[in-house]
Amino acid sequence: MNKSQSILVPSGFGSSAQGTEELFGRLRAGAWPFRKRTAAPLRRPNALLILLAFFLLGQGIQAQDTRPPLVMFAEGEVRFAKPDGKSERVFTGMYLSEQGSIVLKKNSRVELIYNDKFVELKEPGTVTFDKIFGTAPQRKSFIQRFSNFVGRGLDQSSSARSIEKAYMANQSNAQGNIRGFGDRGLLDVFPFGGMVSPTEITFSWPEESGKSSYQFRLVDSLSEQVVLEVKTSRPAITLNLEELLLQDGNLYYWEAGPAVQSPATSGPKRLSRRSQPTTDYDRYTFTYVARDHAEVLTDIRSDEFYVKYSRPEQQMLIEAMLLEDAGFLAAAYDAYQRGLEVAPKDIILNRNYAAFLGRWNLRTQAKEIVEMTSKLPRE
């Protein structure tokens, strides 16, 4: 459209229902309620305003990602002294203000994470925050990424309602991994989506009262070719996916439930026929990738923060973060399990595990963990 081209626009009519009805009334009566208006010349956008907008957007994002100092671990008698002279006990998972001091008694220790810095204090005495973080060495941007991840997990697992919000924020991704459940949520189901690498994995599903035989099927989602079908006497089966010769990058689904034929237990059988469902089993999808998920962890396992400063349960939390970000949900789930074996009552690990389950639609289990952690003593 050139600058001199005219546009026909309605004159004297708003966007309300009354205005619309009036417009059509005149049209029916033969009136033509339009007048000519010349389009305004196009103006070149102001480059300075664009740069300012991007700057303010960047400042907003940076401010949003910055969290207060977080207590990753505390033991013994550790207190936070505020500028007004008041003090409070410091415990794991607690946020602290940026102004104040840490007071440690003998045989006490505290680990703090703030932006891109990690600090461990274990010497008795009082130290101010500006001294703590002003001299702490930077650990690259990974520390801030981990800090934001942990903080998000604590936010998403603060209550049963926050678990629901965590799921809703990730709903499109979580529902893309299942067929049949929708918003009902998953329970006792594994794996529940994402990518799976060539490894041994145990598929599990809910047990049903009075049932002694279950049927399991693994199907190529695109071709509907049945890869494997097996009956088992319990609601679980362990398979080595590498032996099934699955195709790299292909989407598969598995379904399981009470056997529809006479109870029997047999080993897995590879089939090539097309899927012809005769049950109303719920389906769970995953993408098979030929590479090992451990490749995601190669760099971090040589990182100073991971090797030197992180406790075993923190290392598992770091691995879970990286694996989930890469889409390896089953491997991330396993990382949480290994961490909980080491520290079953760790608040931060449990709360982030609950957030992880909530994001991926295992909300009932997530809420149970939130309830359990609310009863744990603060340390």
Helix (H), strand (E), coil (C) string for 166-216: HHHHCHHHHHCCEECCHHHCCCCCECCCCEECCCEEEEECCCCCCCCCEEE
**What are 133-164's pLDDT values in tens digits?**
776 555 556 888 999 999 999 999 999 999 99
pLDDT at 376 over 90: no
Q: Which range (38-47, 67-76, 107-116, 211-220) has the least confidence?
A: 38-47
Q: What residues does 73 pair with on adjacent strands?
A: 111
Supply the pLDDT for residue 268.
Answer: 52
pLDDT at 59 over 60: no
pLDDT at 287 over 60: yes
Q: Which residue has the higher pLDDT, 4 or 219?
A: 219
Supply the pLDDT for residue 61.
Answer: 38
For residues 344-362, give the mean pLDDT. 96
Supply the pLDDT for residue 360.
Answer: 95
**What are 177-217's pLDDT values in tens digits?**
787 666 678 888 999 999 999 999 999 999 998 889 999 99
Q: Which range (17-31, 70-84, 112-126) has the least confidence?
A: 17-31
pLDDT tier at 118, thresholds 50, 70, 90: confident
pLDDT at 52 over 70: no
Supply the pLDDT for residue 136.
Answer: 55
Q: Which residue has the higher pLDDT, 74 or 29?
A: 74
Supply the pLDDT for residue 210.
Answer: 85
Supply the pLDDT for residue 138.
Answer: 55
**What are 295-314's pLDDT values in tens digits?**
999 999 998 889 988 999 99
Percent of the chain with pLDDT over 70: 74
Supply the pLDDT for residue 132.
Answer: 82
Supply the pLDDT for residue 281.
Answer: 84
pLDDT at 49 over 80: no
Supply the pLDDT for residue 180.
Answer: 61
